[in-house]
Amino acid sequence: MASSSVNIPENLSILVVDDEAAITRMISHALDQSGYVCMSAGNGDDALKIMAENAFDVVITDVRMPGMSGVDLLRIIKAKYDTDVMVMTGFTEDYDYESVITAGASDFVQKPVSFRELTIRLKRVLRLRYLMIEREQINKELQANVEKLVTYSSRLENAHQELRYAYLDTINRLVAATEYKDEDTGDHVVRISRYCTLIAEKMGLPAETVELIQYASPMHDIGKIGIPDNILLKPDRLTKEEFDIVKTHTTIGAAILENAKSDVLKTSHVIALTHHERYNGGGYPRGLSGNNIPIAGRIVAIADTFDALTSTRPYKDPYPFDVAVEIIRSEKGKHFDPDITDLFIGNIEAIRQIREEVGRMETVSLADFMWSNRDVADGTDKKISAHRP
């Protein structure tokens, strides 16, 4: 996966909790050598006393300890502190990955502990922690400006052309903030705009409509500001409850853009609400089908899916370009409008050029390609098994 540009401070503080003193000494020594500031505790009660007087970025705790268990300690920490917790255990018959993660842990490590694996997992937890901190700051700035953006949007149509360009630039910058996950910041929404513009032009839509789609399509995921970061950035398959929360970004986005006066934001409202509808009626939030889905929503659906497939996401590396094309082809008449799918495939070299021009496009060979946990769980490998390495 692409390296992260997130800013992680130095001298991060770690608390190691285990009733076996030899283990705490070894782990603390190993982490000290890696530049972390470590403290240790022999049980949950002592750990909480230490935490009452010291701030920690991460707590690494054993599960089975005298008195308070590591899982009970985990729940208390998550209720009282803004601290990530990694859990260690050799008793996998009692505690599995899913149950511990559900309880609030950021990661799960089996004993005997490999220091190399522990360090790698700790770095991943810290990267995600500070990525969330940065996203939270961006979201605060975004939320403070969205209301102003919508309030003043009605002045666009009679404004000077220079004001129009400044306004559209503001939209793109704010939308880039909602898409902030990794070093792909902002590139996703630029590609979406260009893909959608290309498709709309090839469909022969009126120039005014093409322009509206060009400027409105980057707003498709504006509702993500209302989705918790721990769900948006989750590296594994979402639970049903988490996916239901993710689905609400369509209605949140529509609510933000509701009653807009400008044609751009009216189109953005339609796109935010309908870009996850499916041609066969299996999408959300309304289960629309066929031509009942507005044309702008049908166009953004295929552009957004293709860009997600070929880009790094918290839960996946980018898929090879040709694999992404075959996935799009396989969803003709199901997820996507058949005519738009044919047009998209028919102009695939122009699509490839856009993908190569905007942001870094990683070359992923079929030999190195691996399906994401989410896609394997959802049966995507069955759709184009010929491409599975």
Tens of pLDDT, residues 199-235: 999 999 999 999 999 989 988 988 888 888 888 888 7
Q: Which distant-in-sequence residues (6+ apart) come within 8 Å of 80 by Cβ?
A: none
| Confidence at residue 368, expressed as pLDDT on a 0 to 100 scale | 57
- CATH number 1.10.3210.10 given to 156-387: yes
Q: Convert the pLDDT of each residue in 297-320 to its tens digit.
A: 999 999 999 998 998 777 777 888
User: In the structure, what pLDDT confidence band is assigned to residue 382 with cuts at 50, 70 and 90?
Assistant: very low
Both tokens of 55, joined, read: 């701030």
Q: pLDDT tens digit string along 73-127?
A: 999 999 999 999 999 887 666 666 777 888 888 888 888 888 888 888 898 898 8
Residue 243: its pLDDT value, please? 92
- What percentage of the chain carries pLDDT values higher than 90? 46
Query: Cβ atoms within 10 A of the Cβ of 301, count?
Result: 25
For the domain spanning 13-125, the CATH number is 3.40.50.2300
Q: Where are the domains of the chain?
A: 13-125, 156-387
- 150 contacts: CB under 8 Å, gap ≥ 6: 256, 257, 260, 265
Mean pLDDT of the 159-182 span = 58
Q: What global pTM score does this model have?
A: 0.59
Dist CA 28 CA 37 (whole Å) = 8
Take residue 73 and report the two structure tokens written for it.
């300690």
Residue 285 to residues 22, 119, 236, 273, Cα–Cα distance (Å): 54, 41, 23, 7
